[in-house]
Amino acid sequence: MNAITKKTVTTQDTDETIDGVTVLGDYHLNGGYEWMDLIGEHGWTVIPVWGADGWDLGNWPYVMVAATRTADEIGNLFGVATYCEGDVTCTYYRTKARQWDAITEQAFYHWKNGQAHGPDDLPEAAAELPSRYRMPFRPNAA
C-alpha cells in the first residue's frame, strides 16, 4: 500500500462510508521523521504531547500519533493515524470528542507500557483516566 492514498473509509463512531478520504498507510521507505514530513504535506500533524501537563505521546521517531481535520459535504471528519516503526493504522471519526478518545487510548497504552513518559497516577484502564489526561496540551492555558 502507498503511504498516502485516497480511499473509501468507514467512520469508527458513526459507521458512515465516506469516499475519497486521505488515508495514511505503511511507510517503510525511510524513518519516522521522513514520515512526519510527508504526512504534513497532506494536512496531517504529529502530536508530540498529550494531556493538560503535556506528557509524551509516543516515542519519536519510532512511535508517533498524528491527527487531521477535514470535511465532506455532511460535515467535519477527524482522522487519527499511528506510526510504529513504519506500520501505520489510520481511522476517521465524525466527532472531535471521539478523535480525542482515540488519541487518549494511544497515549494511555504507551504510558502504561513504559514506552512514553506519562503520569505516575495511571488507572487500570484508559476509560478511567481523569479528564486532564484526555485532552490536547495547551501550554498557555490558564
Q: Cβ contacts of residue 121 below 8 Å, gap of 6+?
A: none
pTM: predicted TM-score of the whole model, two decimal places: 0.94
Confidence of residue 140 (pLDDT cuts 50, 70, 90): confident
The domain total for the chain is 1
* The predicted structure's pLDDT at residue 139: 85
Eight-class DSSP state of 30: S
In a domain, 129, yes or no: no
| Domain that residue 18 falls in | 4-118
Q: Tell me the mean pLDDT in the region 75-79.
A: 97
Q: Is the dihedral of CA 10, 100, 41, 73 positive or negative?
A: positive
**Residue 109 belongs to a domain:** yes
Query: Is 21 part of any domain?
Result: yes
Q: Kindly give the pairing relationship between strand 63-71 and strand 55-56.
A: unpaired
pLDDT band for position 1 (cuts 50, 70, 90) = low
